[in-house]
């Protein structure tokens, strides 16, 4: 089986599973093998019942202390009993498995594996699997892959497909040159792929992961260095002077620019006037006010008779930016337009026509902006907001829409300078390091679920004072209902609990773009009091009147992502609050959440998280949420990032080497990585 062969050739994959896999973006054998497990399930040795803790997945061995009994609660059949070993006993329950009633025997010894939960103040083993002695002996200590799934596709099915693909797959030559592999002690690609799916033990997993992380960083760094070579101090056709209108805009703002904003704007002005192409990153924590800096840059370009465009990752954010721009641009006579995927074909055609004929000065949109049919006229500036949501490739394609336009990218990812130089090697950096001074620091609290009723009362009070709130819905367990159902159920249940005057709506990733946009606009207009949502609202959304953020299952998110979510509040002058609701109040979890409780500084949060977990913790929650990388995590794998970059630098010094026969496979890999032929 070859890389590009369809997954239909894999044993056991028929038409139906083919469709399901396609939903995960998997159509070829190569894509299937690059679909890495999200985490691993490990069988730990049997432990005494008395030693189990909330949240742990444990195996216990013993017999029933009470006869299993069945109860029906609504449509649910619950089987419950007590289980004991020499150290103590624990309640056990199974849902909707009535047939167990007959097969479970008193006096027999059983091995049960399940997760320990706290119910009504006592620990309980929920829905455990009954293991045979052989199963236990075979699996002990081994890592079972757990894949990110889609409805209809079980973990078992994916595991089987991967296993049979691996048997027949013909791996191509390792594209990572042997000398580099030796120098950094990296395993071969083939072995790494096999191991990442089915690791024998933790060490094997760690080694395989390191190799794959390295290769991701290496390709990335190499691509970046080639890009940079073509870019250094390129003369620009577009010399832009800031002029009167930017001054007028600054005057029209309801606030004074902070020092950081002013500095960033000075940097941009200097770049614009320099006669060279600008390649600049603006790094500033959530809420530091990056939008207004971008707005000034867009305005300056427009005022000089050029076009400018700003690309954002979601439609919701695009609409919001568009409205904000319109507010200030209309009085200044600047023509802005919005271009997003959910517009009708006719609407899009109309806007695209106006862009091509330069009846529009500034365009705001999602990645529709880089579609082939969109042609610009004298595009002098491209701005990418929330750039971590875009790949290097998209950023470059955006720039490719003009003739060496100035480029501005904005990011809220707090990373240390040493890493920033590598990750943004091709960019100059301006940092906005202070939040606007009229902000009150967000008040945080990390609590267990027993606090939930109080949290609802608190939100009601805030709503009564005219404020709004977000609730990030609990995450779904695999194989339970879908994300969408989950959000809807949660919304229904809180509508019952909250006072009827509180207007509650929901938002989730499976909604049509148009529906999402409508809900978000209504929230912006204040027509919704509480918005229940998945993490789709994580990036960039700005509703200064929202003062409460409550995050359910906070224990399941990375700290960096929690910090981004928290960034949706504290954007106005009123006191804001963030409630981290944790389904698990173990010491480790609470310690982790306390980092957020104690600080609102994203940079500090990211650093503390690493110190707490230590770089050895490979099973932790993925932190950065950066989409550049599949496995790699810029915080956790900082060392590999440095090494891969060092290797890439050495490599690019002698550009010619990439043409040697022995680097042919690397060259091919690079070409598909950057989407263009390297010359
Ligand atoms: P981010 O950097 O996260 O993109 P935004 O640009 O969305 O932040 O700004 C967040 C909020 O702060 C907006 O409501 C914006 O109007 C406001 N804001 C921006 N700059 C200032 C300032 N200098 N003083 C007060 N408020 C500001
Ligand atoms: Mg923003």
The model's pLDDT over 628-648, given as tens digits with 9 standing for 90+, comes to 677 887 777 888 989 999 998
Q: What's the CA-to-centroid distance between 323 and ligand 1, angstroms?
A: 15
Residue-wise pLDDT for 73-115, tens only, equals 777 888 999 999 999 999 999 988 888 888 899 999 999 999 8
Tell me the per-residue pLDDT of 454-491, one tens digit each, with 9 for 90 and over: 999 999 999 999 999 999 987 655 444 566 778 888 99
Mutate to test the pocket of ligand 1, among 249, 259, 289 (most ligand atoms within 8 A of CB): 289
With H, G, I as helix, E, B as strand and everything else as coil, classify residue 369.
helix
In degrees and rounded to multiples of 5, residue 199 shows phi and psi of: -70, 140
Does the structure show a pLDDT above 50 at 620? no
Mean pLDDT within 110-133: 90
- Centre of ligand 2 to C-alpha 289, Å, is 7
Rounded to an integer, what distance in angstroms lies between the CA atom of residue 111 and that of residue 558? 33
What band does 411 get if pLDDT is binned at 50, 70 and 90? confident
Quick one: pLDDT at residue 655?
60
Confidence tier at 617 by pLDDT (50, 70, 90): very low
Among residues 563, 537, 413, 378, the alpha carbon closest in space to that of 469 is found at 537
Give the pLDDT of residue 538: 63
Ligand 1 midpoint to CA 288 (Å): 6
| CA 502 to centroid of ligand 1, rounded, Å | 28
- Do 596 and 617 contact (CB within 8 A), yes or no? no
Enter the tokens of residue 201.
């033990």
**Which bound ligand lies closest to the C-alpha atom of 262?**
1
Which residues, by Cβ under 5 Å, contact ligand 2, an ion? 540
Q: Whose CA is nearest to atom 6 of ligand 1?
A: 289
E strands, 96-190, in order: 110-119, 122-131, 143-146
Q: What are phi and psi of 555, to 5 degrees?
A: -65, -15
Q: How far apart are CA 234 and CA 274, in angstroms?
A: 11
Question: ∠162-166-167 over CA atoms, to 5°?
Answer: 125
Q: Is the pTM of this model over 0.85?
A: no
Strands 69-73 and 76-85: antiparallel
Q: Which of 280-284, 658-662, 668-672 has the highest mean pLDDT?
A: 280-284
**pLDDT (tens digit, 9 = 90+) per residue, 349-400?**
999 999 999 999 999 999 999 998 999 999 999 999 977 777 667 888 898 9
**pLDDT, greater one: 148 or 576:** 576
Distance 318 CA to ligand 1 centre (A): 16
In this predicted structure, the answer to whether residue 676 has a pLDDT above a threshold of 60 is no
What residues pair up with 131 in beta bridges, in sequence order? 111
Pocket of ligand 1 (CB under 6 A): 255-258, 261, 284, 286-292, 412, 436, 438, 540, 542, 544, 571
Report yes or no: 430 and 282 within 8 Å, Cβ to Cβ. yes
Q: Which residues, 6+ apart, have CB-to-CB distance to 496 below 8 Å?
A: none
pLDDT value, residue 154: 85
Q: What is the DSSP letter of 109?
A: -
């Amino acid at each position: 089986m070859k890389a590009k062969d369809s997954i239909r050739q894999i044993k056991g994959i028929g038409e139906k599973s083919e469709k399901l896999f396609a939903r995960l973006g998997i159509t070829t054998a190569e894509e299937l093998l690059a679909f890495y497990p999200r985490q691993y399930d490990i069988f730990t040795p049997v432990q005494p019942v008395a030693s189990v803790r909330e949240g742990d997945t444990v195996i216990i061995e013993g017999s029933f202390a009470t006869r299993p009994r069945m109860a029906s609660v609504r449509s649910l059949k619950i089987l419950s009993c007590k289980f004991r070993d020499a150290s103590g006993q624990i309640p056990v329950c199974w849902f909707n498995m009535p047939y167990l009633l007959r097969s479970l025997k008193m006096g027999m010894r059983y091995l049960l594996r399940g997760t320990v939960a706290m119910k009504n103040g006592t620990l309980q083993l929920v829905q455990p699997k009954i293991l045979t002695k052989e199963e236990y002996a075979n699996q002990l200590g081994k890592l079972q892959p757990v894949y990110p799934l889609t409805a209809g596709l079980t973990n078992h099915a994916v595991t089987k497909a991967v296993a049979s693909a691996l048997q027949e797959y013909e791996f191509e030559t390792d594209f990572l040159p042997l000398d580099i592999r030796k120098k950094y002690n990296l395993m071969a690609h083939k072995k790494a792929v096999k191991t990442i799916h089915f690791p024998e033990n933790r060490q094997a997993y760690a080694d395989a992961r390191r190799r794959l992380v390295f290769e991701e960083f290496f390709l990335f760094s190499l691509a970046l260095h080639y890009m940079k070579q073509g870019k250094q101090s390129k003369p620009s056709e577009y010399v832009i002077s800031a002029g009167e209108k930017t001054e007028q805009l600054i005057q029209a703002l309801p606030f004074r620019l902070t020092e950081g904003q002013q500095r960033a704007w000075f940097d941009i002005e200097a770049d614009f006037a320099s006669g060279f192409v600008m390649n600049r990153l603006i790094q500033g924590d959530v809420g530091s006010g990056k939008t207004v800096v971008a707005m000034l840059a867009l305005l300056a370009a427009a005022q000089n008779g050029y076009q400018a465009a700003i690309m954002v990752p979601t439609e919701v954010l695009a609409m919001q930016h568009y409205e904000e721009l319109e507010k200030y641009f209309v009085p200044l006579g600047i023509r802005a337009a919005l271009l997003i995927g959910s517009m009708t074909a006719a609407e899009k055609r109309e806007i695209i026509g106006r862009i091509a004929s330069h009846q529009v000065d500034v365009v705001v949109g999602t990645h529709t902006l880089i579609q082939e049919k969109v042609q610009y006229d004298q595009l002098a500036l491209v701005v990418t907001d929330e750039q971590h949501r875009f790949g290097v490739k998209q950023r470059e394609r955006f720039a490719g829409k003009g003739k060496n336009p100035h480029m501005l990218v904005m990011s809220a990812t707090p990373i240390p300078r040493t890493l920033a130089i590598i990750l943004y090697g091709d960019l100059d950096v301006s940092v906005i390091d202070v939040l606007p001074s009229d902000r009150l620091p967000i008040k945080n609290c990390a609590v267990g679920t027993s606090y939930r009723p109080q949290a609802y009362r608190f939100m009601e009070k805030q709503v009564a004072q005219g404020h709004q709130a977000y609730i990030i819905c609990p995450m779904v367990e695999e194989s339970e209902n879908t994300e969408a159902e989950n959000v809807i159920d949660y919304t229904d249940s809180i509508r019952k609990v909250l006072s009827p005057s509180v207007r509650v709506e929901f938002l989730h990733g499976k909604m049509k773009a148009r529906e999402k946009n409508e809900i978000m606009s209504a929230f912006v207009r204040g027509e919704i009091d509480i918005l229940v949502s998945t993490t789709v609202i994580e990036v960039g959304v700005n509703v200064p009147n929202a003062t409460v953020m409550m995050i359910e299952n906070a224990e399941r998110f990375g700290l960096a992502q929690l910090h981004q979510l928290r960034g949706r509040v504290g954007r106005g002058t009123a006191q804001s609050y963030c409630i981290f609701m944790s389904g698990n109040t173990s010491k480790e979890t609470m310690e982790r959440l306390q980092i957020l409780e104690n600080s609102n500084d994203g940079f500090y949060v990211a650093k503390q998280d690493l110190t707490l977990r230590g770089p050895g913790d490979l099973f932790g929650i993925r932190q950065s949420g950066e989409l550049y990388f599949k496995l790699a995590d810029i915080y956790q794998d900082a060392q590999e990032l440095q090494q891969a970059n060092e290797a890439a630098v050495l490599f690019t010094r002698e550009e010619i080497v990439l043409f040697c026969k022995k680097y042919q496979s690397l060259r091919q890999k690079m070409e598909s990585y950057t989407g263009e032929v390297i010359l």
